[in-house]
Structure 1
């Protein structure tokens, strides 16, 4: 579990840094726009890229902690065995779906790199962003593959240990 903890910690710090960067860029852009009549050039582009990175880098964290949105209306009517089966089935479906989306996104990243796509104002290359997005979605899928074999009770114990320093 050391690798999982390192991955979660690294992605958590990266997501926090991206969020702080987006907040800072937005603040500088707003102050520049309203007080000096000079907005931050490319601020919108950097915020867009930051938002994409934030969402896709947080996805493996959400998957690893099983914090996706869940509708548990009928859980009270189900036995523990049925709940366990449905949870594992959901992890299998998530793995397949995320692996498929990751593959499609990787193919898109290759095309973006071949075309040399960049942002409009700052001319930042978009390929690294799309490669990162595809990698993070594949990692989220692999998290679901691993979670198939980890019962929910053990997962809760693991998560509570991780949150303590």
Structure 2
């Protein structure tokens, strides 16, 4: 939950900076020495990515990803628990591959010293936020797989197919 809170704070900060930049841009013709924030696009881009990746672990833990439950009420409980396990395994694979590829991308950005256009900030910093978020997402997804296996076993041993 801590990462999700950090993601929320990031969004609030980005929103505040964007508002300040817009106000500065609007006041620019008045020649008050106030203008838009330089590099606001770079800041917004990296901040939004970091926020989204920070939300993924909490979303997975709470099972709040988008689902289609149209037929779930028609299936027996054992089938729904099996589907939950299958989805959790798939999310674990996706999160693990995503973290691995993001890590390789970060190494690539570091190797070539790539920077953002306006601020000239190292691009790998944004990738680091992605690696941390996706790494936590992969760990939480692995926990969710274990949780689904436990739920499936507990229900099977407790009463058959109920």
Q: What TM bracket, shorter-length normalisation?
A: 0.7 to 0.9
1:125 aligns with 122
State the SS of the aligned residue for 2:63.
coil
Residue 98 of structure 1 corresponds to which residue in structure 2? 95
Decide which moves more: 51-60 or 12-21. Answer: 12-21
The TM-score, its normalising length taken from structure 2, stands at: 0.83
Gaps of 5+ in 2: 30-34, 152-162
Q: Contact (CA 8 Å) 2:115, 2:123: kept in 1 or not?
A: yes
* Residue equivalent to 1:82: 79
CA RMSD of aligned residues (A): 1.7
1:13 is aligned to 2:5: yes
CA distance in 1, matches of 2:13, 2:117: 20
CA offset at residue 36 of structure 1?
Answer: 2.3
* SS of equivalent residue, structure 2 residue 117: coil
| 1:112 Cα offset (Å) | 0.4
When the two structures are aligned, how many residues end up with a matched partner? 145
Displacement of 1:141 in angstroms is 1.9
Residue in 1 that maps onto 2:144: 147
Matched residue SS, 1:73: coil
Cα distance in 2 for partners of 1:75, 1:57 equals 29
Asked whether the 8 Å contact 2:56–2:133 carries over to 1, the reply is: yes
> CA separation in 1, counterparts of 2:142 and 2:82?
14
Question: Aligned-pair distance for 1:13?
Answer: 2.6
Question: Rg: which structure is higher?
Answer: 2
- Residue number in structure 1 paired with 2:68: 71
**Pick aligned residue for 1:33 from 25, 30, 33:** 25
